[in-house]
Structure 1
Amino acid sequence: MTTTPPPPRPATAVERASAALGRLRRGRLLHPAGRSFVGETVIWGTPGPPTGVALLDHPGRYRTTVRLSKGTPTPGSWPDVLGLALRLHRDDGRPFDLLVSSSAAAPVLRNLPLPRRRFTGTYSTITCYRAGRRRLWLAVLADPDSADLGRSLATAAAATRTDTPRLVLAVASAVGHWRLVGQILLGAQLSAGEDAALAFDPVRNLPSELRMAGPLAWLRDRTYRGSRRARGASAQSGGSTAATA
């Protein structure tokens, strides 16, 4: 079933309200506290039936910008809805922006953002995507053999100074198990200025075969537009294309 977008007036109102709140915060409206890193994503390919998204189905290697963040944000290592944002820099110049939030791995809970303390865990897209007639969820999962990112932004940054933490990229249907499709490596931390300049667009910066679906897609689109507008950022602002090594 295709979701019909609401009329322009409510969408415009949401964008303006988001921009106004962003100006009051003098920064990001969503997930303002974070650290960004140089990264690399290695796609192994989709095990089992293909998703219909070439970037996920075929092996590849992409320079990546990674941002870890806290949603509210709460102090230190207090529980919060944690965020992980990825920008895969593709050769055609069109980035793939993937934003995931702390959640649980089980099908019934992958649609809910869940507060937690540790940055090592399950992050899911919360809302689904459509690839043709397929509904897909994407997730970033902990690698049990990787360095622990700890309970705060500071400990996560410290882990990248002594090791190369790894996370796993996965895809699933509405009720299916996660299928592992790739690996994400975290490298050197970007400067505070580079982090502040970085802006993501999880609705429009997608592979051509993929689109965000569901009733919240238009809301996310307008909210992120308003937040970027308040900061004077574009949908492709920032992001390091340096290699992890």
Structure 2
Amino acid sequence: MTTPVTELVAAGFRGLAALRRARAFHPAGLVLRGELRPVDDDLPWPAGPTAVVARLSKGAGTPGRLPDALGLAVRIPGAGRDGGPWDLTLTTAGSGHVGRMLPRPAATWTGGAYSSLVPYRRADRLIWLAAWASAESPRLDASLESVVAAGGLGFVLRTGREDGRWCDSAELTLSEVGGDAPAFDPMLNRPAGLEVAPGWLAQVREKAYAGSRAGRP
């Protein structure tokens, strides 16, 4: 549903993307390829290990190793509605009840949580999604160059319940650097029966993504 507020959001993101000649946020990033392996069925993951494409990015586009709100986007081919992709977009944040809703700058790619910021609704349950660098990952400063030098990165994806518990849900291994980045859109590209909550915020985010796409060259 279009409202004056959602139209204003779309116009703002379209203008910012046009000014930057790139995504409104997370303008610079690094594409990686790897594999997603489900370990639980609390989200509609593929039945087994699946090749994925991902993008690590800096929200404001700060240079070098300067801290930023760091982003992890993942595309899972064939896992969305009607055989389309499922796009996940996560941003560095806290992991508590309030912190998981608020983006925060990070000085490393491996030092804390990446959150969906808002939950998914599946049937009558709200499910949060977050990622942590795997335990064996080396400490990587917040530059894209550090990821290139490391040759990749691993993450554990965890789902959060309303009571604050986090449970392992999937493992993500990114080991091949390079390639073209798809236009990630978690609002359009998701499985049937999995909604972004609350509904009003989903509408605002959908307009933000649409505005950013429209403003890019």
Q: Offset of 1:222 from its aligned partner? A: 0.5
Aligned match for 2:187, one of 203, 211, 218: 203
Aligned match for 2:21, one of 7, 22, 26: 26
Tell me how far apart the structure 2 counterparts of residues 139 and 220 of structure 1 sit (CA, whole Å): 18
Runs of 4+ in 1 over 6 A off after TM superposition: none
| Structure 1 counterpart of 2:137 | 146
1:206-226 Cα shifts (integer Å, max 9, x gaps): 111211112422221111111
| Structure 1 counterpart of 2:163 | 175
Find out whether 1:65 has 2:53 as its counterpart.
Answer: yes
1:17-66 Cα shifts (integer Å, max 9, x gaps): 322221111111111011111121011124xxxx3x432xx742221111
For the structure 1 residues 142 and 230, does the alpha-carbon distance in structure 2 shift closer, same or farther, using more than 3 Å as the test?
A: same
Tell me how far apart the structure 2 counterparts of residues 78 and 177 of structure 1 sit (CA, whole Å): 31
Matched AA of 1:54: P
Find out whether 1:212 has 2:196 as its counterpart.
Answer: yes
Identical counterparts, % of pairs:
36
| Structure 1 counterpart of 2:206 | 221
Aligned match for 2:104, one of 101, 109, 114: 114
Matched AA of 1:231: R
Find out whether 1:80 has 2:68 as its counterpart.
Answer: yes
| Structure 1 counterpart of 2:38 | 43
Matched AA of 1:65: V
CA RMSD of aligned residues (A): 1.9
| Structure 1 counterpart of 2:173 | 185
Gaps of 5+ in 2: none
Gaps of 5+ in 1: 233-245
1:101-139 Cα shifts (integer Å, max 9, x gaps): 101223332111111100113101111111111111001
Conserved? CA contact 1:148–1:159, under 8 Å:
no
Tell me how far apart the structure 2 counterparts of residues 223 and 72 of structure 1 sit (CA, whole Å): 16
For the structure 1 residues 116 and 54, does the alpha-carbon distance in structure 2 shift closer, same or farther, using more than 3 Å as the test?
A: closer
Tell me how far apart the structure 2 counterparts of residues 22 and 28 of structure 1 sit (CA, whole Å): 5
Aligned residues: 213
Conserved? CA contact 2:29–2:56, under 8 Å:
yes
Conserved? CA contact 2:129–2:160, under 8 Å:
yes
TM norm structure 2: 0.89
SS in 2 for 1:54: coil
Tell me how far apart the structure 2 counterparts of residues 10 and 107 of structure 1 sit (CA, whole Å): 27
Tell me how far apart the structure 1 counterparts of residues 16 and 141 of structure 2 sit (CA, whole Å): 31
| Structure 2 counterpart of 1:243 | none
Q: Offset of 1:85 from its aligned partner? A: 0.5
1:188-216 Cα shifts (integer Å, max 9, x gaps): 2124xx24xx2111112111121111242
Structure 1 or 2: more strand by fraction: 2
